[in-house]
Structure 1
Amino acid sequence: MPYDSLGRNPDAVAAQQKFGKDFENEVRDSITESLMTKGADFKTASAEAAGRAKEIRSKLAALHDPDMVAGGWFRHEPVRMGDTLINSSIGGSWPSRLKALDEAVSSAIANGSGQANMNVRLELLRGRGN
């Protein structure tokens, strides 16, 4: 798996930063427009919007699909913004999941089925009540 041997895709960091900055700019522009519609002048609306957009972005992360560790190494462009805390908690669960997949692959190879395709399904785990 590329992530194990190569680490994080070197293009991913720049792509995430650009995606996050573009998102922040879109949010800022939307807030500015909304405040001006409510009567604020451009300078005031722009300053307030910049602060609010920065605060919103600080709680979000640019997400890959699939996650870098779970096969997204070749897809370094983020697809959406998501909660930073949730993303970090999901990322921390990959080592044990990947270990199970690696063990299944090793077992298939040892049993002479190394050429067979594996049917792997990654499911989103939701909290209680979801």
Structure 2
Amino acid sequence: MIDHFRARWFGEDERALGRSADALMNSPGRAQGRVADWSLCRMAAVLQRGARRPLDIAPVGTAQLTANERSLLAILDALSEGDDSLAARHAEWLVAPSALRAFLSATAPLADIYPKLSRAA
């Protein structure tokens, strides 16, 4: 999951982005994979414009998570558990107040998909 986000964050070459999108369409499935890919693209775009501070995102393929990546996963965990308030509190550490709504809107489609992605990983 986080490698798909990293690919979007770093704007990997078209072939790498295509492989990531294809992998998402294989698991959790074609329609949900497209939604997940779109959501990850939007998340990265909002964070690149509206992050509170420069974010530490590890290169694609790195085994360890950065603190910022752990925050992203905490947001996804909260959303998938239906705790929008907790997701917003976690997001406040990453994004400026002016970008909070856009970030949560971009992330929300992953609420139902993320548990399937994390099990498949």
Which structure shows the bigger proportion of residues in helix conformation? 2
Q: From the CA coordinates, give the structure whose radius of gyration is larger.
A: 1
TM-score, with structure 2 as normaliser: 0.32
Which structure shows the bigger proportion of residues in strand conformation? 1
RCO higher in structure (CA 8 A, sep ≥6) = 2
TM-score, with structure 1 as normaliser: 0.30
